[in-house]
Structure 1
Amino acid sequence: MRSYTFSHAITRKPSTSIIAGLRAVDTGTPDLALMLTHHADYIAALRATGAEVVELEAMQAYPDSVFVEDTSLCLPEGAVVMRPGAASRLGEAAEMAPHLAALYGDVRRIQGDDSFIEGGDILTTETEILVGRSARTNAAGVAELARLVADWGYKLREVFTPPGVLHFKTDCSLLDGETILSTKRLADSGCFEGYKVIYVVDGEEACANSIRFNDLVIMPAGFPKTRAVLQQAGYKVQEIGNTECAKIDGGMSCLSLRFAPTR
């Protein structure tokens, strides 16, 4: 299943400037030492599945650069460099491009001056690419991405992120070829019609941003009821601490680019 079977991942170390990272609500200053511990645990979980993990050096100039997923969309056929909707993050995408070029034969770019799109708004399934319009992803960005992936054979469908939710994948994640983990507020929009939906337990909405990475479902620690639901459904679950990234609106998917390039 190409939507969750990966040979590679790219991560980036958090920098000391991360205390200036963007956030919707100030819930405290991230503890860098603890974040680094969580980051190491995250990388270990990815590597435990047999994947090759590239860990890029921290970038002091970009406080949010640990969240590499927003910079690119990685597919088996090639990669597309995004154009983030937060002005302070535009340079992150440019910095990622050469690393993708080292692994892919075809790297494309969102280039329109009025196009904005971030990887956190993109969910790739076995049958389509779902892109959520949000404060960080606009109609022009969605349309440009659709054009760029068309000759790779992908169907793109535009959906909408609930008001007050940063990214589409803040509220959902792929569990397997036909199953989505979602909050009720997102699934109630009808965007997952045709899929099986497992709901996060009320009060544990923050764990909707998990990732299926090979044989693991990697989820943030601290959500025991939803963890139990996933385990009962037959998934192998690995919990990773995320308290510090959560202070700057980050989750499990944000921390890596996951792919299996065919070159």
Structure 2
Amino acid sequence: MTNPAYEFTHAITRRPGTSVVNGLRATDIGTPDPVRMEKAHAAYVSALQSTGARVIELDPLEEFPDALFVEDTALCLPQGAVLMRPGAGSRRGEVAHMAPALRQCFDDVREIADGFIEGGDILVTGREILVGRSARTDANGVAELSAIVADWGHSLREVFTPEGVLHFKTDCSLLDAETILATRRLDASGCFDGYRVLHVADGEEAAANSIRFNNLVIMPAGFPRTADTISNAGFEVVEIDNSDCAKLDGGMSCLSLRLTPTTPPD
């Protein structure tokens, strides 16, 4: 792997359960369809696998309706993994269910013990780790994570998620080590000074939550102008139906933990 910010050998996903209809949502725009969501999830896994990566698919957790959004439970870095402490109380129990899979992949697994922090607020670039304070991530959580990753040689910079935006990565994603896809409202904060920034098209803000995974940029379907912007910048785009996940404030990054294990599982 040449760039650990976006090149990975593995991913971890969790299939949605039927209880997903009870998932958290900031605004009720409808109930997700579990059957359609399962089909879209399978397409997402196929896209990850098409890059040559191994995908570890975990079973649904019916007692945790939001458990398919595995990204919020952990941060995976080349040196190890950090178990998060979600700000949403109903999601805190998901972390214990993710821990065994991560312990099979990493010798060094640490955890946030005091503050609150969710993976959706963390963007790892080629030079630093950006963490957005939000309703789900507080100052104590950021400070704890900063101390952990400093031990592994990483620098962390705290930024702030716009009012009314659930997670920092709701409004941005990494395209390569120095290129960020972002909404204009987030870029206007100055948090990406020094990076190359591509803006999503006006009215297509939901496209900002995409992921760079090996040779692909995997983005939600239905945002043609932003897809053209990414493609014209030289990236290979794959579009996935995200209409049901969007009803639960979920996006492309939420659905996977992307990693290169230090101790690859059997």
Using the size of structure 2 for normalisation, the TM-score is 0.97
Structure 2 counterpart of 1:30: 32
Structure 1 counterpart of 2:121: 121
Question: Distance in 2 between the 1:200 and 1:7 partners?
Answer: 28
* 1:17 equivalenced with 2:19 (yes/no): yes
Alignment of structure 1 residues 49-64 onto 2, 5 Å: 49-64=51-66
Give CA deviations for 1:103-128 in whole Å, capped at 9, x if unaligned: 1110000011xx00000000001110
**For 1:247, what is the secondary structure of its paired residue?**
helix
Extract unaligned runs of 5+ from structure 1. Answer: none
1:151 to partner: Cα distance? 1.3
For 2:111, which of 106, 109, 112 is the aligned residue? 109
Question: Distance in 1 between the 2:66 and 2:5 partners?
Answer: 26
Question: Distance in 1 between the 2:248 and 2:147 partners?
Answer: 32
**For 1:243, what is the secondary structure of its paired residue?**
coil
Native 8 Å contact 2:173 2:181 kept in 1: yes
Extract unaligned runs of 5+ from structure 2. Answer: none
1:94 to partner: Cα distance? 1.3
Structure 2 counterpart of 1:43: 45
1:262 to partner: Cα distance? 2.8
Question: Distance in 2 between the 1:23 and 1:69 partners?
Answer: 17
Structure 2 counterpart of 1:226: 226
Query: Structure 1 stretches (4+) deviating beyond 3 angstroms?
Result: none
Question: Once superposed, what is the RMSD of the aligned Cα atoms?
Answer: 0.5
Structure 2 counterpart of 1:202: 202
1:160 to partner: Cα distance? 0.1
Structure 1 counterpart of 2:92: 90
Structure 1 counterpart of 2:10: 8
Amino acid at match of 2:44: Y
Native 8 Å contact 2:49 2:55 kept in 1: yes
Amino acid at match of 1:66: L
* 1:142 equivalenced with 2:170 (yes/no): no
**For 2:56, what is the secondary structure of its paired residue?**
strand
* 1:75 equivalenced with 2:77 (yes/no): yes
Give CA deviations for 1:69-122 in whole Å, capped at 9, x if unaligned: 00000001000000000000000011111110011110000011xx00000000
Report sequence identity in percent.
Answer: 66
1:261 to partner: Cα distance? 2.1
1:2 to partner: Cα distance? 1.0
Structure 1 counterpart of 2:248: 248
Alignment of structure 1 residues 155-170 onto 2, 5 Å: 155-170=155-170
* 1:189 equivalenced with 2:189 (yes/no): yes
1:55 to partner: Cα distance? 0.5
Using the size of structure 1 for normalisation, the TM-score is 0.99
Question: Distance in 2 between the 1:232 and 1:145 partners?
Answer: 36
Amino acid at match of 1:245: C
Question: Distance in 2 between the 1:225 and 1:108 partners?
Answer: 41
1:149 to partner: Cα distance? 1.0
Native 8 Å contact 2:105 2:262 kept in 1: no
Amino acid at match of 1:153: G
Native 8 Å contact 2:183 2:199 kept in 1: yes
Amino acid at match of 1:236: E
Native 8 Å contact 2:132 2:160 kept in 1: yes
